[in-house]
Chain A
Amino acid sequence: MQKRVTFNSRTLPYLLVAPQILITLLFFIWPAIQAVGQSFQREDPFGLRTAFVWFDNYIRLFGDPFYYHSIQITLVFSLLVTLLSMGVALFLATMADRVIRGATGYKTLLIAPYAIAPVIAGVLWLFMFQPTIGIVAYMLDQLGYDWNYHVHGNEAMMLVILAAAWKQISYNFLFFLAGLQAIPKSLIEAAAIDGASPTRRFWTIIFPLLSPTTFFLLVVNIVYAFFDTFGIIDAVTSGGPGSPGATNILVYKVYSDGFVGLDLGGSSAQSVVLMIIVIALTVVQFRYIERRVHY
Chain B
Amino acid sequence: MATVDIRGVRKTYAGLAFETIKGIDCAIADGEFLVMLGPSGCGKSTLLRMVAGLERITSGDIAIDGRVVNELEPKDRNIAMVFQNYALYPHMNVYGNMSYGLRIQKLPKAEIDRRVREAAAILELSDFLFRKPRALSGGQRQRVAMGRAIVREPSVFLFDEPLSNLDAKLRTQMRVEIKRLQQRLGTTSLYVTHDQVEAMTLADRLMVMKDGIAEQIGTPLEVYRNPASVFVAGFIGSPAMNFLPGRVTADGGAVELTGGVRLATQLTGGLAGGEDVTVGVRPEHLAPAANGAAAPSGNEVQVAVDLIEALGADTVVHSRLDGTEDRLLARLPGSVTVTPGMTLTLTVEPGALQLFDKATGRSLSARS
- Residues of chain A whose beta carbon lies under 8 Å from any beta carbon of chain B: 184, 186-187, 189-196, 200, 204-205, 208-209, 211, 295
Taking the complex as formed, is B75 at the interface, i.e. its CB lies under 8 A from any CB of chain A? yes
Closest Cβ of chain A to B205, distance in Å, is 24
User: Which of the candidate stretches B59-67, B97-105, B262-270 sits at the interface with the other chain?
Assistant: B97-105
Bound CA span A85–B105, Å = 35
> A204: which B residues are within 8 A, CB to CB?
100
26 example contacts (A-B, Cβ-Cβ < 8 A) are as follows: A186-B84, A186-B85, A187-B87, A187-B89, A189-B54, A189-B74, A189-B81, A189-B83, A189-B87, A190-B83, A191-B89, A192-B73, A192-B75, A193-B75, A193-B79, A193-B80, A193-B101, A194-B100, A194-B101, A194-B104, A194-B148, A195-B75, A195-B104, A196-B100, A211-B91, A295-B134
Query: Residue B52 at the A interface, CB < 8 A?
Result: yes
Which residues on A sit within 8 Å (CB–CB) of B104? 194-196, 200
Write out the residue numbers on chain B whose beta carbons fall within 8 Å of the beta carbon of A191.
89, 100
Quick check: B91 and A295 within 8 Å, CB to CB? yes
* In the complex, residue of chain B having the shortest beta-carbon distance to the beta carbon of A294: B134
Cβ contact within 8 Å between B87 and A195: no
B152 within 8 A of A: yes
**Per-position contact with A for B94-136: 1 when CB-CB < 8 Å, else 0?**
0000001100110000000000000000000000000000100
With known contacts A189-B83, A190-B81, A195–B105 Cβ distance under 8 A? yes
Instruction: Enumerate chain A residues within 8 angstroms of B100, measured Cβ to Cβ.
Output: 191, 194, 196, 204
Closest chain B residue to A194 by CB distance?
Answer: B101
Across the interface, name the chain A residue whose C-beta is closest to B101: A194
Question: Which B residues lie within 8 Å of A184 (CB)?
Answer: 85, 87
- Closest Cβ of chain A to B39, distance in Å, is 21
**A194 is contacted by which of B84, B85, B152 (Cβ under 8 Å)?**
B152
CB of B350 within 8 A of chain A?
no
A191 to B81, CA, bound (A): 10
Q: Report whether A193 and B81 are in contact in the complex, using a CB–CB cutoff of 8 Å.
A: yes
Question: How many interface residues does B have (CB within 8 Å)?
Answer: 23
Task: Please indicate the chain A residues that have their CB under 8 angstroms from the CB of B105 in the complex.
Answer: 195
A55 to chain B, nearest CB (A): 48
CB-contacts of B137-166 with A (<8 A): 148, 152
Looking at the complex, which one of B74, B83, B148 makes contact with A186 (CB distance below 8 Å)? B83
- The minimal Cβ–Cβ distance linking A214 to chain B, given in whole angstroms, is 13
Specify which chain B residues have a CB less than 8 angstroms from the CB of A192 in the assembled complex.
54, 73-75
Known: A186-B84, A189-B54, A190-B83. 11 other contacts (CB 8 A): A186-B87, A189-B52, A190-B81, A191-B100, A192-B54, A194-B104, A195-B104, A195-B105, A196-B75, A200-B104, A208-B91
CB of B351 within 8 A of chain A? no
Interface hub of A184, A189, A208 (most chain B Cβ within 10 A): A189
A209's nearest neighbour on chain B, judged by CB, is B91
* Cα separation A191 to B148 with both chains bound (whole Å): 11
Of the candidates A195, A205, A208, the one having the most CB atoms from chain B within 10 angstroms of its own CB is A195
> Which B-chain residue is minimally distant from A195 (CB atoms)?
B75
List of A residues within 8 angstroms of B80 by Cβ? 193
Query: Is the beta-carbon distance between B54 and A205 smaller than 8 angstroms?
Result: no
State the 6 A-B residue pairs at the shortest beta-carbon distance, nearest first: A194-B101, A295-B90, A195-B75, A186-B87, A190-B87, A195-B104
Nearest opposing residue in chain B for A208, CB measure: B91
Assess A209 versus B85: contact at CB under 8 Å? Given A195-B101, A196-B104.
no
Nearest CB on B from A188, distance (A): 9
Complex contacts, B83 vs chain A, CB 8 Å: 186, 189-190
Docked Cα-Cα span, A200 to B100, in Å, equals 11
Query: Across the interface, which residues of B come within 8 angstroms of A189, CB to CB?
Result: 52, 54, 74, 81, 83, 87
- A191 vs B53: C-alpha distance in the bound complex, in angstroms? 13
Q: Chain B residue with minimal CB distance to A190?
A: B87
Q: How far apart are A256's CB and chain B's nearest CB, in angstroms?
A: 46
Are B52's CB and A193's CB within 8 A?
Answer: yes
B313 to chain A, nearest CB (A): 40
- Nearest chain B residue, comparing its CB with the CB of A192: B74
Nearest-neighbour CB distance to chain B for A181, whole angstroms, equals 16
